[in-house]
Chains A and B, each alone.
Chain A
Amino acid sequence: MSILSAKRLKKYYGKEPNIVRALDGVNISVDAGEFVAVVGMSGSGKSTLLHMLGGLDKPTEGEVVVDGYELSKMSDEQLAVFRRRNVGFVFQNYNLVPILSVYENIVLPIELDGNKVDKTYIDEIIDTLGLSEKRNSLPNMLSGGQQQRVAIARALATKPSILLADEPTGNLDSKTSQDVLGVLKMTSTKFHQTMIMITHNEHIAQLADRIIHISDGKIIREGRGKK
């Protein structure tokens, strides 16, 4: 069953003759619980695709439907609410809120929504990610790998429909990268999480169920991961 689908997705920047076709007619469909890797070179349009899928940016043409929500029809206000309820983000540069502690960062999307925090679930995530001892630390007191774990925990906290990871290991050394990828894979399996990961690294992409190759804003090839 498809939880995410994009049809004829186009995103153009600028005007002729300097038009940039970041996305040029992308069709994609992701099933619930699936782990998809999007691979491409720098400037291939993979980040733009992720932004469209996460409701961070609006396409020039085409539609994105996530868990039944048609994103292009939503206002800025509605998109914000949609994101905090349905999308978990993990970025290359962690993007933790520097003024909030680890725990506060993790529960931020829940609290923004005005919901009560499910303590047992959050504690489980924190334990799984090995962050128990750092609960009350501020982000700048953590190593890169630890910060990315916090970001993963935050992305999982609202039990989102999809988890979007944009080069989650781009800023990490190879050992820490392995560690973080392992955690990502393990948690998404454990919490039955749909996940789309962007990377330029073929090797990392092999961890996914499905690999989508993108170049010049178009899907050029699809294949299965080695697992």
Chain B
Amino acid sequence: MKNNNGAVIRRLTNRSLKANKKRNLFIIMAISLTTFLLGSVFSIGMSLLESKKMEEIRFLGTVAHAAVGHPTASQLEQLKRLDYVKVVGTGNNVGYVKNTEGMGRISLTLHYFDKTEWEKLRSPAYTDIVGSYPQKENEIMVSVGVLEKMGITNPSIGMEIPIAYYTDSKDSNALISENFRLSGWFTSYALIQSMNRADIILVSEELSKKHGKTIETDGTATLMFDDASRVLEYCEKLKVDLNLTENQPVVPAQAYQTGKEATIASLIALSAVIAFLIFTGYLLIYNVMYISVSQDVRFYGLLKTLGTTPKQIKRIVVGQILRLCMIGIPIGALLALLISLVAVPVAISMLGATSTGVVVSFSPLIYLGAAFFALLTALLGAFKPARKAAVISPIEAQKFTGIDYVSNHVYKPTRGKLYKMALRNIFREKKRAVVVLLSLSLGMTTFIAITTLVSGMNINHYIEAMYESDFALKNFALPDAKGLKQKFDDAFMKSLESLPGFEKLNITTLEWVRLEYTPDMFGEYIAAYASMQNGIGNLNEEQIRENFRGFIAGIDGEVLTKLNETLDKPIDIDAFDRGELALIATDNPELFSNVRELTISPLKKSESGLEKTSGGESIKIPLGGFVPYSFKNIGSGFAPTVFISNTLMAKIYQEPVISEINLDVSKEYEQPALNLLKQFTNDDNEIYLTSKLEAMRELSSAKMVLFVLGVSLALIIALIGVLNFVNVMSVGIMVRRHELAILESIGMSRRQVRKLLVREGLGYAVITLLLVFTIGNAVTLGIFTLFRQQATYAAYSYPFFPVILVSIIIIAICVITPEVAYHSIYKKSTIIERLRETE
């Protein structure tokens, strides 16, 4: 039955919209709030994702997907022809820089990139690029980080930089000294990524040619594939397609080596948030629309009498929602855009998600997604009301007064008790009451949950968990040919002890050791190790025995006290201090189930590698337990890392190198001690200072931002619930004006009517609060418990003050709304006029 009635349906839709201004306002608000919330969530999610991606790329220093080592010219030609390879860039090593005094132990190489490599693959991973890629033989381009190491803080194009370098890695004495000119600079993250250990200086093709460097001997080709999700697959394919040899490795970029578990987890979390927001938005839109249709029953019934088909009526209802979406969605999207300009960068940087700066995403996906889901919400909300309007019986519609009297429930007499009447009024339309109560409680529960989570992020607990002392000083000097440098000498230690308010210090010492290997004791460990590290499997027993070397660290027994509380088998600290026990650092103690005793041979680093110490005899120490692998962040060599007491360390190694100092001062001296320590370690980038006080300050501001963002989000969700209530309550009173007039005509005083209505409002408030304080609190506790599994430092504390405040606000709104609504109907007319009124 297709016919040309679009015009009249459109007219009815538009007129109907015009006649329901107040309802439109509510729906527009609901739609824009939903769009806004969804948009904000998407915006944070996308920005986080892009910031992470950017961080990865910047740390990698390239956007390439993989690299092929030492390709021949014909292989390069082949590469460019492969249909799955999109970009091929090449580069080669030109020389090694001889470090000057101030540069520390950074390893700098001179490197040449071809035009594609630089423009397509490298420069997108760099920021703040100034100048241009070196063209002339004596031009160089340097990262800002390296320039700083060279003592240049204010670079200019063309400035002279002297560099001494050698081109043969085996002959570091064939030095070439040259005065280069700076052709440009950029910010890269290679230094941060390598912990100040490696970076490159870019040179021209001419210099590369001059030293006879080629891609085949000194270079790599880096590639970008047509599909980033198939990097590993393509890497395998390349081996076959290019016929690559043993010394032509194909290496996928780090970012593409890992699995997708993290992404799936965050996708699930995101879907849950979207579903929740859609649900809250739906509750409001559905209720407003349903009430509006119920009020317009006569209108729709009349249209039906006159021959409007159910389909046409559905089109009228849905058409109204669509038109309101056209206003609401852009408003919401615009608000979300504003938020992403202001709050998203703050949120992301405060979440500490990235270290290379925040990328705020303005991907159209965010806004299309938000618009799509908001539209979905609105249509979901309109669907049932539209059906209701479509099936309205024209005859019943004529008799309709806005209230359903139909009830198969036999009530007990109210005996004129107002609160009983009020309660009955609330549940007169059960579904409507349920939706309002659900919406209100959901809003308030979200508020409590977010407040609990944020205030549960106990900074003190966090700091206590993360920092074991007020200050930590770490030896960041790199081991050189003679081993680790003793940064913290006696004089330094003395100066620490004389700090104001000094309480105590603990040191961690670090040296090399060889463990005696027997397959019986360490076989399982080697098997597990081999499964993670290639090449180990090929070693024979003798080679393993020879290479079973690693770190040995000395600590003071008392630092184990806290750890002992979490261990099933506590460590005997006294015995440890006496030097009678050794500990292994591992997260898998079961690998060492056959180890009863360790036989250690102290090693010292010398020019020719690790050697036995002069007087060092092998020592046997019973194994006294295990500490976590990450304990003291030492890492491990081939052999597991062993912990013994500092006294024993001193006995074995005479003067073991101190790798870390943990220092405590009395509370009131924390700030002055921090200032002094900063002076001590100033300009020495081989000492890394961390301070509990500073960490605490940073976290406090982060928590504040999180709190403000979280609470605003929660308030907006709560607002949806409140809007729902206000709409139901005020419409409910409007519809019942006739009934209220009847009550008054039979002798109910105005005061009593008002009391009745206020009690209805209060009823909503009380039921909501009951729900929130029972189910809502249980849910909050559940969420918190889940959260705590991730963040063990979280401490549960019920946010009494905010909850009381919000409860008062809810009660106030529930009381004020019926008052206002009643006054608006009262203003107009006398009892008789209201009794007469039918429309």
Where the two chains meet, the residues of A that have a C-beta atom closer than 8 Å to any C-beta of B are: 51, 54, 56-57, 76-77, 80-85, 87, 89, 91, 93, 95, 97-100, 104, 108-109, 111-115, 154
Contacts and interface: CB of A to CB of B under 8 A. Distances in A.
16 contacts: A54-B305, A56-B393, A56-B395, A76-B310, A76-B391, A77-B1, A77-B309, A81-B309, A82-B307, A83-B307, A93-B838, A97-B302, A97-B303, A111-B5, A114-B4, A115-B3
B307 A113 contact: yes
A85 B305 CA distance: 12
Interface string B394-409: 1100100000000000
Given A99-B16, A99-B19, A84 B308 contact: yes
Given A51-B395, A80-B310, A113-B3, A99 B18 contact: yes
Given A51-B395, A111-B5, A89 B306 contact: yes
Contacts of B309: 76-77, 80-81, 112
Nearest to A158: B307
Nearest to B838: A93
Interface in B379-438: 391, 393-395, 398
Interface in B197-217: none
B560 to A, nearest CB: 80
Nearest to A88: B306
A218 B703 CA distance: 80
B8 interface: yes
Nearest to A94: B302
A114 B3 contact: yes
Contact of A112 (B19, B299, B306): B306
Nearest to B308: A112
B15 interface: yes
Interface string B271-313: 0000000000000000000000000000100111111111110
Contact of A100 (B7, B15, B308): B15
A136 B188 CA distance: 73
A80 B1 CA distance: 12
A81 B309 CA distance: 7
A83 B302 CA distance: 12
Given A95-B302, A109-B306, A112-B306, A104 B11 contact: yes
B394 A97 contact: no
Contacts of B838: 93
B4 A84 contact: no
Given A98-B19, A98-B839, A112-B312, A154 B3 contact: no
Contacts of A56: 305, 393-395
Given A77-B311, A98-B839, A113 B5 contact: yes
B19 A57 contact: no
Contacts of B3: 113-115
Contact of A108 (B8, B304, B310, B393): B8
Contact of B299 (A57, A98, A114, A115): A98
A173 to B, nearest CB: 16
B305 A83 contact: yes
Interface string B467-510: 00000000000000000000000000000000000000000000
Contacts of A114: 3-5
A112 B8 contact: yes
Q: Which 9 A-B pairs have the closest CB atoms?
A: A84-B307, A114-B3, A111-B8, A99-B15, A114-B5, A80-B309, A114-B4, A83-B307, A56-B394
A108 B306 contact: yes
A97 B303 CA distance: 8
Given A91-B398, A93-B838, A114-B4, A109 B302 contact: no
Contacts of B12: 97, 99-100
A93 B306 CA distance: 14
Interface centre among B11, B16, B308, B838 (most CB of A within 10 A): B308
A82 B309 CA distance: 10
A9 B325 CA distance: 48
Contacts of B312: 80, 112
Contacts of B839: 98
Contacts of A87: 307
A80 B304 CA distance: 7
A57 B306 contact: no
A65 to B, nearest CB: 19
Interface centre among A83, A91, A93 (most CB of B within 10 A): A83
Contacts of B302: 95, 97
Contacts of A154: 306
Nearest to B391: A76
Nearest to A76: B310
B437 to A, nearest CB: 33
Contact of A95 (B5, B18, B305): B305
Nearest to A155: B306
A56 B305 CA distance: 7
A162 to B, nearest CB: 13
B428 to A, nearest CB: 22
A111 B391 contact: no
A81 B15 contact: no
B306 A83 contact: yes
A89 B397 CA distance: 15
B838 to A, nearest CB: 7
Contacts of B398: 91, 93, 95
A1 B186 CA distance: 98
Contacts of A98: 19, 299, 839
Given A56-B395, A97-B302, A108-B8, A85 B19 contact: no
Given A95-B305, A104-B11, 9 more contacts: A51-B395, A56-B395, A77-B311, A80-B309, A81-B1, A99-B19, A99-B299, A108-B8, A115-B3
Interface string B7-41: 11001100110110000000000000000000000
Contacts of B299: 97-99
A111 B306 contact: no
A170 to B, nearest CB: 13
Contacts of B15: 99-100
Contacts of A51: 395
A54 B307 CA distance: 11
A89 B306 CA distance: 8
A104 B9 CA distance: 12
A85 B307 CA distance: 8
A99 B18 CA distance: 9
Nearest to A56: B394
A74 B839 CA distance: 32
Nearest to B15: A99
Interface centre among B7, B11, B303, B394 (most CB of A within 10 A): B394
Nearest to A111: B8
Contacts of A84: 306-308
A81 B307 contact: yes
A149 B312 CA distance: 27
Contacts of B306: 83-84, 89, 108-109, 112, 154
A73 B310 CA distance: 17
B11 A112 contact: no
A118 to B, nearest CB: 15
Contacts of A83: 305-307
Contacts of A99: 12, 15-16, 18-19, 299
Nearest to A92: B398
B305 A89 contact: yes
A77 B310 contact: yes
A21 to B, nearest CB: 17
A91 B398 CA distance: 10
Nearest to A116: B4
Contacts of A82: 307
B264 to A, nearest CB: 46
Interface in B303-329: 303-312
Nearest to A86: B307
A120 to B, nearest CB: 20
A80 B307 contact: yes
Contacts of A104: 11
A111 B311 CA distance: 15
A150 to B, nearest CB: 13
A111 B15 CA distance: 15
